[in-house]
Amino acid sequence: MIYFLVYLLVEVIISSAIVNIIGGLLTFTEIILSIAFGVTILKNLSFSLSEQINVARNKNILPEELLKSNTSKIVGSILLIIPGFFTDILGIILQFSLFAIVLTKIFKLKTKNMKEYNSMYSQTCKTYKNINSKGDEDVIDIEIIDSNKHIKH
């Protein structure tokens, strides 16, 4: 709740300062244009995202990498749709890849060592090796996913 109140305070301060400089008509025009840009970016991103999913499926790219590359653009376009100068500034900044790279370095997602193989019973098995700080491989987690669509009798 406190973050939302801080956001509202910053949005009101920035918006009132910019409205005093550029006027009401240009503010209205900026709101309409930022909504149009946000919707356009989101539509184009959905088409390119479906193509990227197909390429990732063929090249066995991890979903985390695909998610990292598109999250900032999705959030940025949603922020462009929301009216307000502060959200528009953040939305424009998030559209650039350099800012996304900096954010992923700050909030680095740890990827697990994963090995996937198919067993003889049409099950997909994924193994994750947890390595502790000393580098020992003490624990192996196994997840078994049954891919059979019918019931065996």
Q: What is the DSSP letter of 82?
A: S
* pLDDT tens digits, one per residue of 68-118: 667 888 888 999 999 999 999 989 988 886 666 776 677 665 444 545 544
pTM confidence score: 0.59
Task: Show the CA angle centred on residue 40, arms to residues 36 and 43, nearest 5°.
Answer: 140
